[in-house]
Amino acid sequence: MPIHPLFDAGTIAERVAELGHAITRDYAGKDLVVVPILKGSYVFAADLVRHIALDVAVDFLGVRSYGDDQNSSGVVQITTDLSRSIEGKHVILVEDIVDTGLTISYLYDNLVTRQPASLKIASLLHKPARTRVPVKIDYLGFTIDDVFVVGYGLDYGQKFRNLPYLGIVANEDR
Ligand code: PRP
């Protein structure tokens, strides 16, 4: 299946480093927990935390979003919960993409009830054309058009997560 390049590895690396530096500045002296949302964000999160020059804890949230390969339904099930309490901690939720916003807003509302000191969102990609629930993304990599993106953690039918770049699967190939 042809994948059309969108952002190459160097462009992604530069942007991710910038986000890491911004987080380093904003969270100096704070008790920070970075929470990647599995699976899509694992590559982004792995690179991002290596640009955060602070003592940072990492904990994971596993979620299953009902829907087909390309559309989430907004019904989200937590399949793996955090291993530690986040009460009183500064938490950054890390997503690969905010599409309709349904997944992240569900998770935000869930985590905020656990009384973190603060809760923010980092996402590599945002697709505003598909917004159903407006979401404030505090650390955003790139805004993209309404295209289907794979690579750098993002999949199509569980494939292509290992591509070192972000690419587009053309409509006629889906
Ligand atoms: C993707 C992505 C987000 C969600 C975004 O997950 O990682 O969690 O969809 O869509 P939304 O804003 O419309 O809710 P996906 O269900 O593809 O699972 P994965 O992360 O395991 O690939």
Q: In whole angstroms, give the CA distance from residue 153 to residue 107.
A: 19
Amino acid identity, position 167: G
Nearest CA to ligand 1 atom 22: 40
For the stretch 135-157, pLDDT in tens is 999 999 999 999 999 999 999 99
DSSP per residue over the chain, as a string?
--EEEEE-HHHHHHHHHHHHHHHHHHTTTS-EEEEEEETTTHHHHHHHHTT--S-EEE--EEEEEEE-SS-EEEEEEEEE--SS--TT-EEEEEEEEESSSHHHHHHHHHHHTT--SEEEEEEEEE-GGG-SS----SEEEEE--S-EEEBTTB-BTTB-TT-SSEEEE-GGG-
Q: In whole angstroms, give the CA distance from residue 59 to residue 167.
A: 28
Could you tell me if 135 and 105 are in contact, meaning their C-beta atoms sit under 8 angstroms apart? Answer: yes
pLDDT at 25 over 70: yes
User: pLDDT category, 65, cuts 50, 70, 90?
Assistant: confident
Torsional sign, CA 106, 107, 109, 110: positive
* pTM for the model: 0.95
Chain-centroid distance of CA 27 in Å reads: 19
Ligand 1 mean position, distance from CA 14 (Å): 24
40 CA closest ligand 1 atom index:
20
Ligand 1 mean position, distance from CA 112 (Å): 20
Instruction: Return the bridge partners of 167, or none.
Output: 5, 150
Which residues are marked as active site? 99
For the stretch 92-107, pLDDT in tens is 999 999 999 999 999 9
99 CA closest ligand 1 atom index:
12
Residues in contact with ligand 1 by the CB-under-6-Å rule are 37, 39-40, 65, 72, 95-103, 155
